[in-house]
Homo-oligomer: A and B are copies of this chain.
């Protein structure tokens, strides 16, 4: 499956694309190491308090995010496609071992599949997130609940972690 040329369906997909001036190998590291992912994954003042990563198709990707008041939201899914330094595809419609989930995530009340694409861009990185939904209503809900701000702010935090050396090569 080549997702580089994924044809966006604006009724069902959401997309964020930005050029960031940090090397893609470090962006990759930020996405694939629990210790590093927990530093940036959730827009402050929320924090990521748990993270499990088994980076292979069918392997677990699980996080728990937490509000300053202690409200916890788990997100559990599995990876579908991994290309080192280039692409991560995961979904919450399936859990570890590809088992169907019986519980849509409580942020958007439906399942999604996320495609993270990284490409070299000068000394920096072209960073693309495409999120696929099963119907228009789910896409709309994700958009209204802050897809662009949420994923954009998380990316700002990721870049800041690389620039101040908290994530390094």
A residues in contact (CB < 8 Å) with B: 1, 3, 6, 12, 56-59, 80-81, 89, 91, 93-95, 97-102, 110-113, 132-135, 138
Interchain CA distance A6-B93 in the complex, whole Å: 20
11 further A-B pairs in the complex, CB-CB below 8 A; given A1-B57, A93-B111, A102-B138: A1-B56, A3-B97, A58-B80, A91-B94, A91-B100, A94-B94, A97-B132, A98-B132, A100-B112, A100-B132, A100-B134
> Among the listed B1, B57, B95, which residue makes an inter-chain contact with A81, where contact means beta carbons less than 8 Å apart?
B57
Which B residues touch A89, using CB under 8 A? Answer: 58, 98
- Whether A113 contacts B94 in the complex (CB less than 8 A), given A80-B57, A81-B58, A100-B133, comes out as yes
8 chain-A/chain-B pairs, Cβ below 8 angstroms: A6-B97, A57-B57, A58-B89, A89-B98, A91-B100, A98-B132, A100-B132, A102-B135
